[in-house]
């Protein structure tokens, strides 16, 4: 919870003291995304990008299974935490790139953080709990369009924050069709203490062919 931004990196990336610690949590929606990806067949040629990876649970799950995945976030500490979490799980070699919707950061800032911007195009783009502000649907859809291949798939786990329909409309503008909405109400979250917590949300799956 301690806010430390002596070089104003977080400020330059649009991260305030109030939102500083939010990336450093295992969010319920990230657990649901990791669960879905755990059962997705791995294709060695498929390139995958996770947006807003936070602590990297979904990316680590796919990386362990042998998928070709890049984790991405905008938080200045995300890359460091990802490296630590890899070591804690006996993993290594999961690439990290910087990706954020809205204004692109200066290249000098990314160099100071020691990270590279996302430049590749991907077959599958995934994310969880990303539709949390009114302007996010359009900005997120624009970023997905920039990083997706002409033929691509997108999986977004959304805890019903109210912007799902707007996001679907924005994705349609870029040629993506919503092909499946998987309700996750029957998949509670199990806490370390063994308590089941209810979950409200769904997995949105889009394709562009």
Whether 153 has a pLDDT exceeding 70, the answer reads yes
pLDDT at 180: 97
Residue 74 within a domain? yes
What average pLDDT does the segment 26-55 reach? 96
Asked if residue 154 belongs to a domain, the reply is yes
Q: Which residues on neighbouring strands pair with residue 203, listed in sequence order?
A: 157, 182
Residue 71 lies in a domain: yes
Q: What is the 3-state secondary structure (H, E, C) of 39-95?
A: CCCCCCCCEEEEECCCCCHHHHHHHHCCCEEEEEECCCCHHHHHHHHHHHCCCCCCC
Residue 165 banded pLDDT, cuts 50, 70, 90? very high
Summarize the confidence of residues 115-133 as an average pLDDT. 96
User: Does residue 12 belong to any structural domain of this protein?
Assistant: no
188 inside domain: yes
Give the domain CATH number at 135.
3.40.50.150
- Does residue 93 lie in a domain region? yes
pLDDT of 110 > 70? The answer is yes
Rounded to the nearest integer, the mean pLDDT of the chain is 95
pTM of the predicted model as reported, rounded to 2 decimal places: 0.95
The confidence score (pLDDT) of residue 49 equals 98
Is the predicted pLDDT of residue 205 greater than 90, yes or no?
yes
pLDDT band at 1 (very low <50, low <70, confident <90, very high): low
Q: Is 4 left (phi over 0), alpha (psi -120 to 50) or beta?
A: beta
Give the residue, 166 or 107, on which the prediction is more confident.
166
Tokens of 123: 């077959």
In a domain, 18, yes or no: no
The residue segments making up the domain with residue 113 are 26-208
Q: What is the pLDDT of residue 190?
A: 86
Q: Is residue 13 part of a domain?
A: no
The total of structural domains in the chain comes to 1
């Amino acid at each position: 919870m301690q806010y430390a931004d002596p070089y104003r990196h977080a400020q330059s990336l649009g991260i305030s003291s109030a939102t500083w610690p939010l990336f450093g949590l295992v969010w319920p929606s990230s657990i649901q995304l990791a669960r879905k990806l755990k059962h997705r067949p791995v294709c060695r040629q498929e390139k995958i990008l996770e947006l807003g990876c936070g602590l990297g649970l979904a990316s680590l799950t796919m990386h362990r299974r042998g998928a070709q995945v890049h984790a991405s976030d905008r938080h200045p500490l995300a890359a460091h935490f990802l490296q630590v979490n890899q070591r804690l799980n006996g993993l290594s070699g999961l690439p990290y790139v910087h990706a954020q919707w809205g204004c692109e950061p200066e290249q000098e800032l990314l160099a100071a953080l020691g990270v590279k911007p996302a430049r590749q195009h991907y077959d599958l783009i995934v994310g969880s709990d990303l539709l949390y502000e009114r302007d996010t649907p359009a900005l997120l859809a624009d970023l997905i369009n920039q990083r997706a291949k002409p033929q691509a798939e997108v999986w977004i786990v959304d805890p019903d924050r109210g912007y799902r329909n707007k996001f679907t409309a924005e994705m349609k503008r870029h040629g993506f069709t919503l092909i499946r909405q998987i309700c996750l109400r029957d998949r509670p979250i199990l806490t370390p203490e063994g308590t089941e917590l209810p979950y409200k949300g769904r997995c949105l799956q889009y394709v562009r062919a």
